Structure 1
């Protein structure tokens, strides 16, 4: 059952998303070489609370933390680790959700610590552009396959990178993960669930630099938790937005760039 949102609910989710986006922007200013991974967790959790909201990833499937912090070849769902220091040229994805008065939002962003390289710059460019190519297809009457095809064509065919297929986007609100529609980041145009006004989804492509889309499990004994790494140990990046499907086109509810995203804002 797809939970369609009213205009009032979408406005509430946009307020949640604004808190989330602001948290990302403030976090970016703090990231530096030598920073303890745990400081990211503490900052995100405390800042969200200061905005009269909560980090809603806590408690989902037994997860204990506000953030997932995936570094270099880690694709997704890695836990924040106390004592792990960020190194120069580390590629770090920070993913978290916000609950503001019952309204949910979800966004991941990938950062480079210290100095970047041409290889890293290309990876981040491809991952971010693939997100926006997917968003452009999130139109009333299109299908989920249109989103996935646009992402896959750009990542795999044009740039020969790995488009992760085992992890997907999802419906969101009032819970973090709604039953539908599932948002695959690959697919065939004009196939899959038809997009309807009032759907709110996450689009969150994960891109592996090495060209292999496959991932492998990494088990954390202490937390009894499984995260994911690239099968070929290449770098991975992810950019994610919460997006509302409206009659006026897709609307990004977690925008960090009101100028660049102006056509996608409510």
Structure 2
């Protein structure tokens, strides 16, 4: 069932999203070579709690952590792991959700540890641009396929990278994951029609090697399953929560009020 949110609900989710964005901005200044991924978990969880909210992922399908932390060829859903230290050139995806008084938000961001490389720069540039091409299609009257096609065309046809298909965006609020499913590939003018009041996530995952397929791996200590690129190439992800409105898509998890000005409430 797809729920359409009121203006009050969207504003509440925007407040939740501001807390989430603030946690990402905090991380940008703290990530460094030698940092333990468990410290990332603690920093994010503490930040969320200090702002009167809770980390929504805790307890979902038995998950125990505030964050998912996926490194290099890990595409998504990997856990923070005590003793796993960040290294120079690591490509780190940090994904988490925030619940502020029942209002949900969800956003993932990719960071480079230490020095970058031309390959990493290109991967992040393409993935970030793909997110915003998808957002631009999130207009009242458009269809889910318009979002997916914009991302797939840019990632695969223009840049010959792998546009992950098995992991998708989704509706959000009051639960973390709701209908509709938001695919990052597809055909224009196909699929569910977008309506004002929908709140969704768009979260393309891009593999540098050109293959979109993923494999499953397991964290030995816990048995938790996560995903890696099938060709073991570097993978990146960027994700925003956004509201579909009659005035266009509005990003609720913005970290950049200047660059995102046209997408803000």
What TM-score does the superposition give when structure 2 sets the normalisation length? 0.99
Q: Which residue of 1 aligns with 2:169?
A: 169
Q: Which residue of 2 aligns with 1:146?
A: 146
Q: Distance in 2 between matches of 1:234 and 1:164?
A: 12
Q: Which residue of 1 aligns with 2:137?
A: 137
Q: Distance in 2 between matches of 1:173 and 1:224?
A: 29
Deviations 1:148-187 (A, max 9, x none): 0000000000000000000000000001001x11000000
Q: Which residue of 2 aligns with 1:206?
A: 205
Deviations 1:27-61 (A, max 9, x none): 11000001011100000000100000001010111
Q: How many Å apart are 1:137 and its aligned residue? A: 0.1
Deviations 1:5-48 (A, max 9, x none): 00000000000000000000001100000101110000000010
The runs of 4+ residues in structure 1 deviating greater than 6 Å are: none
Q: How many Å apart are 1:224 and its aligned residue? A: 2.4
Q: Secondary structure at the match of 1:98?
A: strand
Q: How many Å apart are 1:223 and its aligned residue? A: 1.8
What runs of 5+ residues in structure 2 fail to find an aligned partner?
A: none
Q: Which residue of 1 aligns with 2:104?
A: 104
Q: Distance in 2 between matches of 1:142 and 1:226?
A: 35
Q: Secondary structure at the match of 1:16?
A: helix
Q: Which residue of 1 aligns with 2:191?
A: 192
Q: Secondary structure at the match of 1:30?
A: coil
Q: Which residue of 2 aligns with 1:158?
A: 158
The CA RMSD over aligned residues, in Å, is 0.5
Q: Which residue of 1 aligns with 2:36?
A: 36
Is 2:122 the counterpart of 1:122?
yes
Q: How many Å apart are 1:222 and its aligned residue? A: 2.4
Deviations 1:168-218 (A, max 9, x none): 00000001001x110000000000000000000000000000000000000
Q: How many Å apart are 1:80 and its aligned residue? A: 0.2
Q: Distance in 1 between matches of 2:26 and 2:175?
A: 26
What runs of 5+ residues in structure 1 fail to find an aligned partner?
A: none
What TM-score does the superposition give when structure 1 sets the normalisation length? 0.99
Q: Distance in 1 between matches of 2:37 and 2:7?
A: 38
Q: How many Å apart are 1:219 and its aligned residue? A: 1.5
Q: Distance in 2 between matches of 1:68 and 1:221?
A: 16
Q: Distance in 2 between matches of 1:35 and 1:198?
A: 41
Q: Distance in 2 between matches of 1:160 and 1:148?
A: 16
Q: Which residue of 1 aligns with 2:13?
A: 13
Between Structure 1 and Structure 2, how many residues are aligned?
265
